[in-house]
């Protein structure tokens, strides 16, 4: 197992890394459209709990687009388990 980095990346750096993975999987355009979709949903949302739920849905869609391997935790909560 590799060493885990505990540094929290900026949103810009995180998106850059996700797009890099998407490019390797051949789904760069789909990922771009996914970012656009969730940016719009979040921009129009005023309820904090709804914002968290929308963000969680976005994470699940990204996880699915990138192959669905393993587990996905969002805010410390297991939301997908493919083990």
**Domain contains 5:** no
**Domain contains 6:** no
**Domain contains 23:** yes
**Domain contains 70:** yes
SS3 (DSSP) at 68: coil
Domain boundaries, position 34? 11-81
pLDDT in tens, the chain (83 residues): 455 667 889 999 999 999 999 999 999 999 999 999 999 999 999 999 999 999 999 999 999 999 888 899 998 999 999 87
Q: Around Cβ 66, how many Cβ atoms within 10 Å?
A: 16
Rounded to whole angstroms, the Cα distance separating 10 from 14 reads 6
**Domain contains 55:** yes
- Please tell me whether the overall predicted TM-score, pTM, comes out greater than 0.85 for this model: no
The number of domains in the chain is 1
**Domain contains 76:** yes
Distances in Å between the alpha carbon of 27 and those of 16, 45, 57, 64?
Answer: 14, 27, 18, 11
Per-residue model confidence (pLDDT) at position 5: 66
Distances in Å between the alpha carbon of 60 and those of 5, 68, 71?
Answer: 22, 9, 10
**Domain contains 58:** yes
């Amino acid at each position: 197992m590799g060493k885990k980095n505990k540094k929290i990346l900026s949103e810009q750096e995180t998106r850059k890394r996700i797009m890099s993975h998407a490019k390797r999987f051949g789904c760069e355009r789909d990922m771009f459209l996914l970012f656009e979709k969730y940016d719009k949903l979040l921009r129009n949302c005023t309820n904090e709990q709804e914002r968290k739920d929308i963000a969680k849905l976005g994470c699940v869609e990204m996880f699915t687009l990138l192959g669905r391997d393993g587990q996905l935790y969002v805010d410390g909560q297991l939301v997908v388990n493919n083990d």
